Every structure is written in structure tokens, then in C-alpha cells.
Structure 1
Amino acid sequence: MSDPRNYTVGWICAVSTEYVAARAFLDEVHEEPDYVSEHDNNDYTLGRIRKHNVIIAVLPDGEYGTDSAESVARDMLHSFPNIRIGLMVGIGGGAPSRYHDIRLGDIVVSSPRDGKGGVFEYDFGKTIQDLSFQHTRFLNQPPTVLRTAVSGLKAQYKESGHQIEEAINSILEKKPRLRQEYKRPDPSSDRLYQAGFTHPPNNEASCTAICGDDPSKLIIRRERTEMEDNPAIHYGLIASGNQLMKDALTRDTLAKEKDVLCFEMEAAGLMNRFPCLVIRGICDYSDSHKNKGWQGYAAMAAAGYAKDLLCRIAPNRVEAGRKISDILSSVQKDVQDARNAVKDLGFEQRREKIDCWLSPADPSTNYNKALQQRQEGTGLWFLQSNAFAKWKTQRNSFLWLYGIPGCGKTILSSTIVEDLKRTLPRQPLLYFYFDFNDTGKQILESMVRSLISQLYCKGEDTWKQLDSLFSSCEAGRRQPSCESFCKVFLYMIGYSKEVWIVLDALDECRTRRGPPTKGLLSWMRDLLSSEGRNVHLLVTSRPEQDIESELGKWPYDNDIVPIEGDSVTDDIRAYVHTRVRNSEGLKRWQSRPNVQQEIETKLMEKANDMFRWAACQLDALENCLEYRTLQTALSSLPKTLDETYDRILRGIPDEHKPYAIRILQFLTFSERPLRIKEAVDAIAVDTEGDQHFNPDYRMPVPREISYYCSSLVVAISTKEHSYDKDGKHAELRLAHFSVREYLTSTRLGEDMAQNFQGTTARASIAIVCLAYLLHFDRDIPPEEIRESFPLAQYSARYWMTHAAVAEVFIAQIGHGTIGHGTMHPIRVEIGQLQRCITRRLEVC
């Protein structure tokens, strides 16, 4: 098997014709990779061209366009972390003009113009409707090493000509099965029709039979001489869209106005995520007269040029930035060394491979966080109830605990899990927390993967079905469907005599509806439907309409428990009582028991079953240093969570507000939780000054970052850094689901609302990431980036995700139309930042 880390050149094809041509030009074909990343469904051919190790991938059969290409590139980069340069090689439609004698079989290479990339994305729909060209954005230039090689190859061809035709013929001699489809067609089939003459609609017959050779309908061109390259190589602009260009009038307009040489459908999905050179063999003229007869030869010609290009690049130039790419890649590190102490090494090695393949979300972080917030003695009303006792013992039992936002559902879930661990220490206990803070904990498949991983450790009888699925997926080199995982989980449950499952926050799952293999609610019903299993399922959620409606159909009417009333009031009272007496900020009233009692009484009068409300008020009261201020605060307590959050935001000092807003923007709109050391660097970025990032401006005590927006955020120690004393490795998260709901709602105050509109917030995040990466425009050793610049990986991986959502906003910034009056006036030249990130990604 081949090691994915040894491959530095990524080559993407759109259709099987291109894939065959690319494979044919390999000097050597390698074995399949040892492993691929989770959710990577690409088909790969690995091989060698000269001294370069190359990965070739093709889009799924029948799929075209920018989205499919982007998906293939993303998966390739995850599975092959050391890719430095990319090639998009295949066929395209030519745009011949008086300045560019482009013919079938010729090659067009994307070439930058005026400092802009050689590929741009256009809106085909607008072109048809408005009869005018509407481009949406120019895309990143390919890496410098590729552009330099293009210049060298251009000079080589000009001096000595190329041998592409000879190379193709040599391959066809060795592979006679390819001759019929991939040889050069008869030159007489290369017809360029007048732009106004179209192929009859809905007629699949060939142009030879239907359109004919009438000279009045054709553009007559001279024959090429022996001194001219054939195929000819053209360098210039390639237009990329999501629909096939087959309008000759529009083609000619774009060729004249923008000097477009070629049209295709995939490159726009790659250039900002997979900086690459686009090489297209011309198989038709972007008109209604499509010519499939030239596709094979055109694909061969493009692949032949790509091989010549790679032969001009020294491998050491490509490999120069290898360790930096490891830092900036999105591939997770191998964690096999973490379990070396396990006695049964054979099982543990197998377990590691399956765990890496599963990539399960870790629910222990949510469990530990909730336990830390729990006060001793709370939750006993439920643990000692008949409903809980019945649930623990009755066959195929179910319980739904529901309550309003902030009533303590997650803390109660962790209390239940802790009790089950204590009372049923040798029994299979599985649990999962859906989490608005973490996109990896929001869908059914993530939950099933986590439950499978937990159950896999419980006993040998549960191994077999998962091992079988793992083996059927080529020992983890590809990923199965969610349906396959659901079936395996049911099989594993069947081998367990009895299983207890706790699922928290169903309302934070994004895939609640659908059949059992796609929707959480149907999956739950399916889980409990078989008499052959003995499952005890307990879930918590808000009383959302779809959850209440679905569970109302189940035969478990007596197994629904509201989290409200006297029981919750007693828990909140215990929580408030303990904090008033033990909290560092409230200990100042220990000598005045009457004041302590006054605090408890006032809070309990207005808590209304909301732990979250009480916790926020206690946080605020810790800032009252004398009794007059305390009395004022107690007499004006907010009535709701919304009013509470509004006061917290308004109470942030002006000098802290920009930092608080930036922190909250990142936590509200980021794709994953933010580590504290990343957040510290994020607020140290200066998007206005000349020096975008200065390490001297970092906070000396990282954990104090939560002070900027106390009560709205919380620091969580992760499993692998549970002994992290300074907090740099902990994660910073929004304190509660209701915080995100408030910040993104129409209820947010007008003075803050603009900062949390999706486009505004994501634009700010993208600018911070780009400004941070601009700091690396000098020769910083890779080891220093790894150790000293923790936000680098996040910025490199996600800046484009945020920028894509906020594209219009950022474009306005770039033109100077946004800045005055916003929270962060951006005076950094966007083009400069984008060129910088391109240079950094060239070596990753």
C-alpha cells in the first residue's frame, strides 16, 4: 500500500475520458493508499511522473460543475496532507477569435493577467437573460512554482517545438484498446460554424449529417504548416461556470470583451480551495455543435502538456514547505501513540484504526463541563423518582425529559449519566450530547458514530459486525453510508443483553426528520421497536413542536417528564444557596447572613425555573462591592434571559467592547469550537494598523479572555488537555444555546445587531484570519509556526469559508464602500492579503 504522505501533486479530472488520459501518461502506477480521510468518496490513481508522486482523482460519474470539483478537491486535501501543487486537466470548449486561432485538439492553459488569476467565475444565468457578461469573481493565481514552470515550458516549446503528438501516438501503440477513442480524428471533422448558425434543437444526430459542409455556414480557416505547433498551445483566461456554454453569440461576445479563450465547468470550484493550474484540451467550440469525437484526443493533449510541465519542476522546489503544510492542512494527527500502554496491543491497534475511521465525536467534554456546574444534591428529585427507577429496569423503556431554555436539562443529563456509571458499573452505558457549539455534534450520523465507538469497547461480542463493515470498506480506506452505520449499531445492540442510552438536547440536532437512517426521531422509534433488544433510552430537549408531535405518537404517554415546578425550584435554590456562600465574588457577605438571605430570596422570586437566569444574575452580583450597589442590583433584576443578555452586553466597558464583539463573532459563526490560545491571537490581530499581528500584544493570562464577555462564554478543558493549568489548550465556547439564539435574533439591540448579521460577522472573521496570515510574509521557520502561532491552522482552513458567505460584503470593503461607522474599519488592501495567503498555501 502507498503512504498518502508521500504525494505532493494533486491532479483532478472531471470525466472518465480525462481520467483515462491522465492515467495513461503516468510513468509508473502505485498501489492504493493505506487509508483515506473520513467521508472521502473519491476514486484515486496513484503514480509517478518523472520524480513526482502524483494523485489523480475524478468527479463522480454524472456529476459536473464547480460544487462537485470543490468536493473532490477538499476530500483529496484531507486524505493527502502534503499536496503542494494542483492541476485541473481535461477538456473544454474553445473560444476562437481573430486574435486566437483556436482549433479542436489545441490546448488552453490558464494564465494570469494584470495581477489576477487566469480563471474567473461567471454567472451563466445572467449571461442568457441580460445578454451581457456578469463575472462574479476572479480566482486565485496558481502557485508560483507552476507559473514559473509554464514560462519555462513556453520558452522550450518556442525554441524546439513540443512532442505531445508523438507522446500520444506512443501511448496508443502500447495501449491499442485506446486508439479508437483517443486518436486524433480526421481534420475534416473540425468545423467552426458561423455564430448565427445553430444545430437543430432536440436533434442528437451528428453535425456532419445535419449541418453539413456548406461553406456559407462555416468559417473557413487555412491549414496549419509543418512549422506550426499542432496541437497549438494558447495561454490566457479561462471562464468557469456551473452550466455548459453552448451559445456561439455569447461565446464571441465574451471572447471579444474579456479575451476569453476557453469555457469549462469545474475550475471555479477549485481555485480558492485548491490553488491549481487549469489545462484544457479543446473538444468543441462552446456552441450548439457539440463534438464528442474530439473529446478523447483533447483529453490526451491536455494530459501530455501536464506531464511536460511536471517534468520541468524540480521535486525539491515542491517539497520545500512540507512541514508547514502539515500544520495548515485539515488532516487530524494520528493518535495511535495515546494508547500504547494497553495490554492487548493487537486489539488496541485494531481499535485505533477503527476509531480513526469512525472519527467519533467525544461527548465527555460536555459531560465533564456539566458536572463541574452541578451543585451537590441537585437532581435528586429525579434520581429518586419512580419514573427513573422504572426506566432503569423495564424492558425497552423510554423517558423524555423536557423543559424551557436554561432550566438545567444538560446538567440533569450528566447527573443521570453519573448515577448510571455508579449504579451500573459493568453494564453498557452510552451517551451523547448534541451541541450547538460544535458542528461535529449536530447530526444523526455523528451521534451513531460516537455510540458505536463507545459500544465497541464494551465487549468482544460487539466487535464482529463493525469489524466486518470496516473490512468491507477496504480496511477503512473508504467511508460507508449513514444507513450502514445505523444497521451495524442495531446489530451491536442485539449482541448486548441490555443497554442504557442517554441523549441530551435533541433540539440541537439538525437532522431530526426523515427515515430511520437519516432522521433522529425515526431512528429512536426504530431502536425501541424490536422485542429482541433490551434498550433503555432517555432523552432531553426543549418542547419543540416536531419533537412533541413525533413523540406523541409513541406508546409512552406516561414516560414524559417536565422539568419544572417545585422540584426544579428546589434545585435552583440549592444552587443559589451554595454559590452565595462559596463563590469567591460573594464571600464578602459571609459576615452578614441577612444579606446572603436577601440575595437568595430576591433571586428565587424571579428565577421561574431557569438555572441559566439565576447563574447570570449571580455572575453580575459578584461585581457589587458594597451594599448600596447590591440593593440597587437586586431591586432591578431583569425579568428574562433576553433582558439579562442585553444588560451584559451593555455593561461591557467601551475599551473592552471591540474584543468582546470579535470573540462573540468567532464563537457564534465558527465551524468548530475555538481554543483559548486561538482566541487570544484573534483579538491580538490589528486589522487597521501597518503591523497586523504582534505577539507582544497577546494576553499574559490566556484564561482571562473570558472576562471580556463574562456569563456569555465559558472555558472548557478538553479531554487531551485536562491538566492544562494556564488554559491555553482549553476551548472557549458560548455558555449556552440561548446566547447564540439571542445574538442572531431580531431581539438583539440595534447598537449591537449589525455586528452579528451573518455577512458582517463572517467578513470580520475572514479579515482577521487574512491579516493574521499576512504576518507570515517573512521567513518564519515551520517549527515556530507550529509552536508560536496557534491561529494559523484555523485561519488557513476557514478564512475562505467565511469569505465565501460574506463575499459581497468583502467586495464592498475592497472598493472602499464599507468602513466608516462600522465596528472595525478595514483599511488593509484585500488584494494584498489574498496574494499573501496564496503564497503561504503554495508551500502547504
Structure 2
Amino acid sequence: MGPLSATASIITILQLTVKVGEGLSDAKDASTDRIQFTTDISNLSNLLVALLSRLGESSVDPWHANYRVALERLKDKISARHGIKKMTKTPLWMYIRDDAERILSRIELLKSLEQIALEMDHFKLSQAIESRVSTLQNDNKIMKVGVDAIQQDQVRQRHRLIMNWLSPDNFPAQHADLIARRQADTGLWFLDSSEFTEWVHGASQTLFCPGIPGAGKTMMAAITVDHLHNAVQTPDVGVAYLYCNYKRQADQTTSNLLAAILKQLVQDRPSIAEPLSNLYDRHQVRRTRLSLEETLSALQSVLANLSKVYVIVDALDECPERDGTRRRTDLCLMATSQHISDIVEEFKDMPWVEVRASNADVTRYVVGKIDRLAKCVERDGDLQELVQTKIVEAVDGM
């Protein structure tokens, strides 16, 4: 039954209940059963009116028709009773009681069914409300995730701007190029030395590594940085490094080199870079850079958030001596240098390891480059061994 026909059926039932009620009101007997019947069909009207409000979106089961037929029969019987004068001695209620009792049982069924239907609608409405609330909550969560993502992206962009402003040096790129040229397993003698082990894990804060020109000091510094990155660097243990170059002495001031160290320590740690944020805003207005005092202050603030920091300075002798660039700081410092007298004097009381091209490293390097030699060498094992021996002798630690 569609909504329109169901509505018409309920309206008809409402009209019938009014007529039946009016007919019974004329009855002279006032038995309890008759009064209860009148009350029940009257109360049913409220339920039917409530049912009308939900027919726009739902349909009504056909059992309304059975109830309507029963009411029509009862109405006709009451009307007929009023029209037969000879039966006036028989009370009206007694005349229709059997039909009324059957209708009462149907009223109870109808009331139960209608109440269930209405409660189901309330349940569906509750579900719809909960679903809508859940949808809104999900939408809010999605919106919050989107806003958070935008804010995080803005924070990352600002962090990159601060890093680029802090120092233009790109020592990590230089380091990556050096490691790419490293022959596998070279430098192990240095990493296994007691002096290096004590510097990494012990109480020694400084390790001086002098060597003759061409001894491989820069590569050894790169091997050290790579080892520290893989073996000891953690969120609270920092590693920073400088590859000095005599061609860039004008740029290798104390302030610039410390700024490069500071940049490396906070590059992947935005949470401890906060001291730089206000400095960046202040200098951006004037388009200036950090002073030495500001750099030192910011570096001290960052170091306070780290349990240990390793700093590797390669080619210290290629830094200018002006403004105290070569002075050591209170860090785990490793420095390579040529045998320059004033530098050697500075580190005379510190642990040191001579850097030189070890025979084992040179041999590994030659073996790794055999394929670049003439085919006659590749095919002759004895000749390969002879080449390795003579090159090691000729290198002599350089």
C-alpha cells in the first residue's frame, strides 16, 4: 500500500472512530466494558494521527484495511439498532458487544503494531542523527588533518629558509662525493686504532690526525664521518664536519664555520632550532647575518639539547689564523692537518694518529682498479701481484 492510499485509509478509520463513539454515547447503559471500549477507540485516534506524520517517507501495512472493515460493520450495526424501534428494550451495548470485543482485540494488535512502527522510525531517526554526527566528526577530522598538513608544510618551508640563511655552505654534498669515491674497506686500520676508539667511546675529547700532503687525510675524515653517522649518531648525538680549502680562506671565518656546524646540527632537528627563529626574523628585516656572538649563543643553546657532539675538521691548516679560527672548542673534536708547527704545538698534549696511506689500503685500491689496466695485466695473476707490490712501494704512505 502506497503512502497516499494508506493516508486515506487512516483518515477513514479516524472518521469511523468518531461516528462509532457518537453512536455509543447515546447508549443508556453505562457498563464498564462499553466505557472502556469508547476510551480505547478514542485513544487510538492520537496514535493514528502520529502515524500520518510519517507516511511521507514510509508505507503502511494492509492490516489497516481489516480494522477499517470491522469498524464499518460496527457503525452500520449501531445505526441499524437506532432505526429499529421494536428493539428498544435491548441495551445497545448488549446488542453490539460481540462485535465490539472482536474490534477491541484488533485495537490492541493495531496499537502494538503502530507503536512498533513509530518506535522503529524513532530508531531510524536516531541512527540517521548518529550517522550525521559521525559524518561531521569525520569531516572535522579530515579537515584537521588537512590543516595540520598545511601547517607542517609551512613549518618545513620556514625551517628550510632559516637553514639557507644560516649558512650557504653545503658540506654534506662534498662529503657524499668523497664517500662515493672511497674504495670499499679502506681506512679500517684507522677506525680500529685504540686512539680513535678512545675518542669515540672514551673520555678523550680531542684527536689530532696529522699527515704529509697526499696521505689521504680528507678521505680519512670522510670515512670517520660516515662511520659516526652509521655507528653513533642518534636524535641526541650530533655529528658535524668541515672540509676546509685554502681556495676559500676568505669565507672560512670563525663565524661562518661555526654557522655551518650549527646548521648541520639542527638541519634534521627542527625542534631544537627555535633559538634561530627570532634571530632569523630580526636579521631578515635588516638583511644581515648572524654575528659571531649570536652564532656562539645559538650554538650553546643547541648543544644543551644534545648529549654528545662530534666535530670533524679536515685540513685545519687551510683555515686562516686570523680571529682565532683554529682555536678548539669544548667538543669531541677531530682535526686533520699537515705538519704545521703552530698547529702541532696547539695539539701537542692531545691524542693523535698519523694519517698515511697504509699498504693494505693501497693494495685494496689497486685491486679495485685492476679492470682499468691493460688486458695483459687482467689475464696474468703474477703480473697483477707485481703491479700491486711496486705501487705500494712507490706510494710510501702518500
TM-score range, shorter chain: 0.5 to 0.7
Asked if the contact 1:493/1:499 (under 8 Å) is kept, the reply is yes
Structure 1 match to 2:326 = 521
* Offset at residue 543 of structure 1 (A): 1.4
The one-letter amino acid of 2:215's match is: C
Q: Secondary structure at the match of 2:197?
A: helix
Asked if the contact 1:357/1:476 (under 8 Å) is kept, the reply is no
Residues in 1 aligned to 2:283 and 2:233: alpha-carbon distance in whole angstroms: 34
Deviation digits for residues 431-483 of structure 1 (CA, Å, limit 9, x no counterpart): 11112354676333332121111112243553232223223425572223233
What does 1:777-796 correspond to in 2, within 5 Å? none
Deviation digits for residues 153-194 of structure 1 (CA, Å, limit 9, x no counterpart): xxxxxxxxxxxxxxxxxxxxxxxxxxxxxxxxxxxxxxxxxx
Residues in 2 aligned to 1:541 and 1:358: alpha-carbon distance in whole angstroms: 27
* Offset at residue 395 of structure 1 (A): 4.4
The one-letter amino acid of 1:381's match is: W
Residues in 1 aligned to 2:270 and 2:203: alpha-carbon distance in whole angstroms: 23
Asked if the contact 1:462/1:495 (under 8 Å) is kept, the reply is yes
Aligned residues: 248
Structure having the higher helix fraction is 2
Deviation digits for residues 331-354 of structure 1 (CA, Å, limit 9, x no counterpart): xxxxxxxxxx99822321221221
CA gap of 1:459–1:371, structure 2 versus 1, over 3 A, is: closer
Residue among 330, 350, 355 paired with 1:563: 355
What does 1:436-585 correspond to in 2, within 5 Å? 436-438=246-248, 442-460=252-270, 462-474=272-284, 477-510=287-320, 512-513=321-322, 518-522=323-327, 524=328, 527-528=329-330, 535-552=331-348, 555-556=349-350, 559-564=351-356, 568-579=358-369, 581-583=370-372, 585=373
The one-letter amino acid of 2:152's match is: D
Structure 2 match to 1:358 = 166
Structure 1 match to 2:378 = 590
Structure 1 match to 2:76 = none
* Offset at residue 391 of structure 1 (A): 1.0
Residue among 369, 381, 388 paired with 2:196: 388
Residues in 2 aligned to 1:502 and 1:407: alpha-carbon distance in whole angstroms: 17
CA gap of 1:546–1:578, structure 2 versus 1, over 3 A, is: same
Residues in 2 aligned to 1:343 and 1:578: alpha-carbon distance in whole angstroms: 50
What does 1:249-268 correspond to in 2, within 5 Å? none
Asked if the contact 1:361/1:440 (under 8 Å) is kept, the reply is no
- TM-score normalised by length of structure 2: 0.57
Deviation digits for residues 294-353 of structure 1 (CA, Å, limit 9, x no counterpart): xxxxxxxxxxxxxxxxxxxxxxxxxxxxxxxxxxxxxxxxxxxxxxx9982232122122
* Offset at residue 425 of structure 1 (A): 4.1
Structure 2 match to 1:431 = 241
CA gap of 1:461–1:355, structure 2 versus 1, over 3 A, is: closer
* Offset at residue 539 of structure 1 (A): 1.2
The one-letter amino acid of 2:175's match is: Y
Q: Secondary structure at the match of 2:396?
A: coil
Residues in 1 aligned to 2:286 and 2:303: alpha-carbon distance in whole angstroms: 22
Structure 2 match to 1:604 = 392
What does 1:37-116 correspond to in 2, within 5 Å? none
Structure having the higher strand fraction is 1
* Offset at residue 597 of structure 1 (A): 2.1
CA gap of 1:573–1:342, structure 2 versus 1, over 3 A, is: farther
Residues in 2 aligned to 1:444 and 1:342: alpha-carbon distance in whole angstroms: 38
The one-letter amino acid of 2:301's match is: Y
Asked if the contact 2:211/2:337 (under 8 Å) is kept, the reply is yes
The one-letter amino acid of 1:538's match is: M
Residues in 2 aligned to 1:417 and 1:609: alpha-carbon distance in whole angstroms: 22
Deviation digits for residues 194-236 of structure 1 (CA, Å, limit 9, x no counterpart): xxxxxxxxxxxxxxxxxxxxxxxxxxxxxxxxxxxxxxxxxxx
Structure 1 match to 2:228 = 420
CA gap of 1:561–1:476, structure 2 versus 1, over 3 A, is: farther
* Offset at residue 549 of structure 1 (A): 1.8
State whether structure 2 residue 181 is matched by structure 1 residue 376.
Answer: no
Q: Secondary structure at the match of 1:500?
A: strand
Q: Secondary structure at the match of 2:278?
A: helix
Residues in 1 aligned to 2:227 and 2:151: alpha-carbon distance in whole angstroms: 29
State whether structure 2 residue 212 is matched by structure 1 residue 404.
Answer: yes
The one-letter amino acid of 2:353's match is: V
The one-letter amino acid of 1:429's match is: V
CA gap of 1:476–1:571, structure 2 versus 1, over 3 A, is: farther
What does 1:330-341 correspond to in 2, within 5 Å? none
Residues in 1 aligned to 2:364 and 2:251: alpha-carbon distance in whole angstroms: 31
Asked if the contact 1:433/1:504 (under 8 Å) is kept, the reply is yes
* Offset at residue 606 of structure 1 (A): 1.9
CA gap of 1:373–1:348, structure 2 versus 1, over 3 A, is: same
Between 1 and 2, higher relative CO (CA 8 Å, sep ≥ 6) is seen in: 2
The one-letter amino acid of 2:380's match is: R
Gaps of 5+ in 2: 1-148
Asked if the contact 1:361/1:441 (under 8 Å) is kept, the reply is no
* Offset at residue 588 of structure 1 (A): 4.7
* Offset at residue 521 of structure 1 (A): 2.1
CA gap of 1:360–1:592, structure 2 versus 1, over 3 A, is: same
CA gap of 1:476–1:562, structure 2 versus 1, over 3 A, is: farther
Structure 1 match to 2:91 = none
* Offset at residue 406 of structure 1 (A): 0.3
